[in-house]
């Protein structure tokens, strides 16, 4: 029952009037929440999503400024290739129909100004190129490229086809058989961080460059291999229109299936009764009841704020005590009155001398342009983006003071000084500068410390990915979690797959088969 001041919104007020068997409340309209909503509707449940922001997508977003669209998320979308892993799920979610997918031959370039590593996605080309750069590293390069070749046949989506909690011994055995051809590269590369791999090179240039090949130095080499393999097979492309357009397609599918989204509706509490989730209370004190609650919002906020820590055991407290790596960043986005389309789309510059940026000495800066999607900038103009890893606490200490704004401008100033060296005269062409800090990510999406992908995939979290993370909480029935806090490594396909898995579990608990259809 609602307490004084609370307004009870009965769950029979769900729209559509369909006499479905259960009502589901979903917290968060990110990719996981929207996917959970779509599959809930496909399976005859009445669902309603509460989202704190005014837009769908969560982290899968973009923002428009003066005719420039600054993309804040997808660089590569696993499942972009027809008939390839995760593609069917995106079809079911209506996310990729009629959407042009933009593939690249090269993932990025890494240069110290004298030598350049072109990270070709094609393992044959990459092998030839890297051996030409450093013949003495040929055995290591061949082993790496052999791994990339092997992963072109890797169907990662098999690991998410069924919730791990529902898998019996036979299912694990069948999955193990399918994974058998990848056992050797898995054992060899799954726990090797990029920086340790880089240290094995004899070439001083490759030792520096390879450490930055996959965005963060702790990234397991296996992850990088799978990424290159999928780029090569056309299954990790950029969806034309960008991340917000992609999220809007999911939103359209959900609404077409009869779902309802309440924007600017932040959940304050998940309500429970006798060890059962019964609904949510919003910050405006409205109470909404449902048979099942799925939280597709920040993991820490869900367990320790919305549920007050009541269902957290020692394992969960340990997981969220801050010892696991996360990735927070500053994104500097620039609208530039200059056509950069002839330039490589992503270049990481290894600096001759470290530069102090955001309180840390940086030895490399990556610059990306989006001219491959002309819809993101006015004609003849370009969007440039620079992402710099940054701790949350650095920004939190100065938030609300003048120094917060000053520091943001200082970072973009340093970035523009560097760009001026690589692209002389560019300063005069900059029409718009936008800075996003870890606090911006936290404010807009509620993610703990502004994390961009939940738990960062590292040697420590790789076993969590392989084993799977529980989507339920001990002692709490009718409650599920979805999203990148229960799928280590994050990524939009894993977020969506976790929403799908949550509904599979609910169907299973109700003793009915799970249904998923591609819209006609
Ligand atoms: C810069 C960047 C680059 C990335 N690049 C890629 C890439 O190339 N490929 C890829 O696959 N992935 C990429 N990712 C990762 C990917 O975006 C995320 O892992 C994925 O979008 C997570 O989705 P989610 O639904 O789990 O969480 P979120 O996107 O965080 O969604 C959670 C939603 O819940 C809402 N919410 C939170 N608290 C509440 C509350 N109390 N009440 C109501 N609503 C609430 C939030 O507003 C949000 O909309 C990138 C992310 C970033 C930031």
Tens digit of each residue's pLDDT (9 = 90 or more) over 279-333: 999 999 999 999 999 999 999 999 999 999 999 999 999 999 999 999 999 999 9
Q: What is the pLDDT of residue 8?
A: 47
CA 175 to centroid of ligand 1, rounded, Å: 28
Scored b (16 or more CB within 10 A) or e, 501-520 reads: bbbbbbbeeeeeebebeeee
Contacts of 430 (CB under 8 A, 6+ apart): 334, 335, 336, 337, 416
Ligand 1 lined by 484 (C-beta under 6 Å): yes
Read off the pLDDT of residues 47-63 as tens digits, 9 standing for 90 and up.
999 999 999 999 999 99
Q: Enter the DSSP assignment of 212.
A: T
Is 176 exposed, middle or buried (CB count within 10 Å of its CB: 0-12, 13-18, 19+)? exposed
Ligand 1 centre distance from Cα of residue 27 (Å): 13
pLDDT computed for residue 13 by the predictor:
39
Sign (positive or negative) of CA dihedral 238, 239, 244, 249: negative
What pLDDT, on the 0 to 100 scale, is given for residue 12?
A: 37
Residue 65 to residue 456: CA distance in whole angstroms: 30
Q: Which atom of ligand 1 is nearest to the CA of 55?
A: 49
Q: What contacts 323, CB < 8 A, 6 or more positions away?
A: none
Q: Whose CA is nearest to atom 34 of ligand 1?
A: 28
| Ligand 1 nearest-atom number relative to CA 306 | 41
Ligand 1 pocket test target in 251, 305, 328, 490 with most atoms within 8 Å of CB: 490
User: Rounded mean pLDDT of 167-192?
Assistant: 91
The predicted-structure confidence for 198-230, as pLDDT tens digits, reads as follows 999 999 999 999 999 988 888 899 999 999 999
Name the DSSP class of 361: E
The pTM of the full predicted model, rounded to 2 decimals, is: 0.95
| The pLDDT value given to residue 150 | 95
Our answer on whether the CB atom of 457 is closer than 6 Å to any ligand 1 atom is no
**Residues in Cβ contact with 4 at an 8 Å cutoff, skipping those fewer than 6 apart:** none
pLDDT, mean of residues 35-40: 98
Ligand 1 pocket member 455 (CB < 6 A):
no
pLDDT for the residue 20: 54
C-alpha 83: how far from chain center: 22
Give residue limits of the domains in the chain.
Answer: 7-60+244-324+456-509, 118-233, 328-445
Q: How far is the CA of 58 from the centre of ligand 1 (A)?
A: 5
Residue range 97-137, pLDDT digits in tens: 999 999 999 999 999 999 999 999 999 999 999 999 999 99
Q: Report the alpha-carbon distance of residue 173 to residue 169 in Å, rounded.
A: 6
The atom of ligand 1 lying closest to the CA of 453 is 19
pLDDT of residue 10: 39
d(CA 501, CA 167): 12
Calculate how far, in angstroms, residue 484's C-alpha sits from the geometric centre of ligand 1. Answer: 7
CA–centroid distance, 491 to ligand 1, in Å, is 8
Looking at ligand 1, which atom is closest to the CA of residue 72?
Answer: 1
Backbone angles phi, psi at 6, to 5 degrees: -90, 145
* CATH number at 328-445: 3.90.660
- With a 6 Å cutoff on the Cβ, whether 495 touches ligand 1 is yes
CA-282 nearest atom, ligand 1: 42
Cβ–ligand 1 distance for 72 under 6 Å, the answer: yes
Q: Report whether 405 contacts 434 (CB < 8 A).
A: no
298 CB near ligand 1 (under 6 Å) = yes
High-pLDDT (> 90) share of the chain, %: 90
Distance 441 CA to ligand 1 centre (A): 9
- CB contact set of 142 (below 8 Å; sequence gap of 6+): 127, 131
- SS3 state of residue 45: coil
211-214 long-range contacts, Cβ below 8 Å, gap at least 24?
A: 212/110, 212/348, 212/350, 212/364, 212/366, 213/107, 213/108, 213/110, 213/117, 213/119
Q: Residues of the chain with pLDDT > 70: what percent?
A: 96
CA–centroid distance, 286 to ligand 1, in Å, is 25
Report d(CA 177, CA 171) in Å as an integer.
Answer: 10
CB-based burial label for 369 (10 Å; 0-12, 13-18, 19+) = buried
Rounded Cα distance between 499 and 299, Å, is 14
Please name the helix (run of DSSP H) or strand (run of DSSP E) that holds residue 432, with its range, or none.
strand 430-436
- For domain 7-60+244-324+456-509, which CATH number applies: 3.40.50.1860, 3.50.50.60, 3.40.50.720, 3.30.360.10? 3.50.50.60
- Longest Cα–Cα distance of the chain, Å, equals 75
Q: What average pLDDT does range 365-394 have in this prediction? A: 97
Please check whether residue 375 is in contact with residue 71, taking contact to mean a CB–CB distance below 8 angstroms: no
């Amino acid at each position: 029952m609602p307490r004084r001041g609370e307004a009870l919104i009965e769950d029979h007020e769900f729209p559509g009037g369909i006499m479905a068997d259960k009502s589901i409340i979903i917290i968060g309209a990110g990719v996981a929440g929207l996917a959970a909503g779509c599959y809930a509707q496909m399976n005859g449940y009445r669902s309603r999503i509460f989202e704190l922001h005014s837009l769908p997508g969560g982290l899968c977003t973009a923002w428009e400024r003066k005719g420039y669209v600054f993309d804040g998320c997808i660089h590569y979308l696993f499942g972009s290739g027809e008939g390839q892993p995760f593609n069917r799920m995106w079809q079911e979610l209506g996310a990729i129909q009629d959407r042009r997918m933009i593939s690249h031959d090269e993932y990025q370039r890494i240069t110290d100004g004298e030598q350049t590593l072109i990270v070709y996605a094609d393992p044959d080309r990459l092998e030839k190129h890297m051996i030409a750069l450093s013949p003495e590293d040929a055995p290591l390069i061949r082993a790496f490229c052999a791994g990339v070749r092997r992963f072109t046949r890797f169907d990662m989506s098999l690991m998410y086809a069924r919730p791990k909690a529902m898998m019996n011994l036979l299912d694990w055995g069948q999955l193990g058989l399918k994974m058998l051809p990848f056992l050797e590269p898995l054992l060899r590369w799954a726990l090797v961080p990029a920086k340790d791999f880089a240290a094995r090179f004899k070439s001083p240039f490759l030792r520096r460059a390879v450490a930055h090949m996959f965005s963060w130095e702790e990234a397991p080499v296996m992850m990088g291999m799978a990424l290159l393999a999928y780029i090569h097979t056309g299954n990790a492309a950029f969806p034309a229109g960008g991340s917000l357009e992609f999220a809007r397609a999911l939103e359209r599918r959900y609404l077409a299936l009869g779902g309802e989204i309440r924007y600017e509706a932040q959940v304050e509490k998940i309500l429970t009764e006798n060890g059962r989730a019964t609904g949510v209370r919003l910050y405006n004190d409205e109470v909404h009841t449902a048979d099942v609650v799925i939280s597709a919002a920040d993991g820490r906020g869900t367990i320790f704020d919305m549920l007050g820590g009541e269902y957290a055991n020692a394992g969960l407290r340990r997981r969220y005590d801050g010892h696991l790596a996360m990735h927070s960043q500053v994104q500097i986005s620039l609208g530039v009155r200059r056509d950069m389309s002839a330039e490589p789309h992503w270049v990481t510059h290894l600096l001759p001398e470290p530069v102090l940026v955001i309180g840390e000495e940086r030895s490399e800066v990556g610059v990306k342009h989006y001219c491959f999607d002309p819809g993101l900038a006015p004609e003849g103009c370009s969007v440039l983006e620079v992402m710099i890893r940054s701790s949350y606490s650095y920004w939190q200490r100065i938030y609300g003071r003048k120094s917060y704004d000053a520091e943001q401008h200082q970072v973009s100033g340093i970035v523009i000084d560097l760009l001026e060296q690589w692209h002389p005269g560019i300063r005069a062409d900059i029409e718009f500068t936008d800075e996003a800090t870890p606090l911006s990510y936290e404010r807009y999406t509620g993610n703990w410390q502004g994390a961009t992908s939940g738990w960062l995939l590292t040697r420590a979290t790789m076993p969590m990915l392989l084993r799977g993370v529980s989507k339920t909480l001990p002692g709490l029935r009718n409650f599920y979690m979805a999203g990148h806090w229960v799928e280590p490594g994050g990524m939009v396909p894993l977020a969506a797959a976790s929403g799908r898995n949550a509904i599979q579990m609910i169907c299973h608990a109700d003793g009915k088969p799970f249904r998923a259809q591609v819209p006609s």
